[in-house]
Structure 1
Amino acid sequence: MLTDWEMCIRLLLAALLGSLIGLERERLLWAAGLRTHMLVCVGSCLLMIVSSFGFQDALAMAHTELDPSRVAAQVVSGIGFLGAGSILLRGEVIRGLTTAASLWTVAAIGLSVGGGLYVVSTAATFIILVILIAIKPMERVYRNRVQVHVIKLIAPSQTLSLKKVNEVMGNRAGKVRQFIVEKGNRDDTDSITIELKRTSGAQAKQILEQLLTIDGVQEDASSQ
């Protein structure tokens, strides 16, 4: 049986490891940021401790067995509602999958800390940070190599549609790989993301210039 101090140390370590991953998400201004990741990690750690050591008195009873994995399994499945929230928060646009995955892995880190697997928990935190921070530039390089370009625009609400974009682009309309419309910073504006496939940098620039000729359409300054 662990002492109270040892349990508190596990909770503090879970908070620390969760905060490291949460800071990376907070830096990108995602809804699930520092506090959310810390809470998930500490909460799952606490549940693991309770599952492992919270029923010691019951074990003294005849024909009683303890299965700590049952609570752990419930945490893994239950964390899905937070992950879904980080995705659905952006309406019909499928974004936030990486944040949802980070919440899921933070829950796993909390469980491993609660189970006393300190080295594995720390190693997993380091690996996750490498994936979130170091792999992203590599992802961008790969996209550039396969000639995928992203154009971000701001336009008055309901001004720019996929049909309108295709009309402006003419014979280049087939290059639109993804067209995403989100609510802008103001109620009367839309934030539009257009992903182009098989397009060189020069072609992407020409397409951007064509789109900017539409009344009210501006390039999103935050993407520059």
Structure 2
Amino acid sequence: MAMLEVEGLDAGYGDLQILSEVDLAVDEDEYVVIVGPNGAGKSTAMKSVFGLTTYMGGSVRFKDDDITGRPPEEIIREGIGYVPQNENVFPSLTVEENLEMGAYILDEIPDEAFETVFEQFPVLRERRDQKVGTMSGGQQQMVAMGRALMLDPDLLLLDEPSAGLAPDLVDEMFDHVDRINENGTAVLVVEQNAKEALGRCDRGYVLVQGRNRYEDAGDALLANEEVRQDFLGG
């Protein structure tokens, strides 16, 4: 049984329905990517897992517990971390203070939590006292991901982690995602850089107009002629 199971999900915002009968699954330690054209509902699908949309039907189960429609403050306690695409750091706080915010539900933050993040992102150890608003976009994204790792989640949700990064930093960001997964955290990634993401993941989904269109291994989707022509630029 998959660690995360989304079945027949209908969701949106207010009265606006974006997703129709969407199915997704992530196994333990798996790296899964959601790709598709703009407006396909990729981010909405991810936000729905984390309780940030209007639930309209279907189900979301995590480690066999029904988390459908539950609020984010409950979902994070189940072992799911989430990094939104925008406004995902506190710019006026230091690196260390941002990381502390990621563990706000704990009465006391263990030193091991910081060490895990600093091992993943060594530059953050060097800059732990620096205000995050003065850092580069790539470093800010590391802070956002590090904050989500402070609770040692079983599943990490990443919404467009390469968005807005300079081209020479995109590969580095994907390398970080690879290592997070290799260290035992399952990841579900929404990504516009579809070729790069599918080339690294275990499995991918293609969403179109709020519905499932394709599901397969990442390399199989890259080799699929229809997927290449319609969504990957040939």
Q: TM-score, normalised by structure 2?
A: 0.25
Higher helix share: 1
Which structure exhibits the higher relative contact order, with contacts defined as CA atoms closer than 8 Å and separated by 6 or more residues? 2
Greater percentage in strand: 2
- What TM-score do you get using the length of structure 1 for normalisation? 0.26
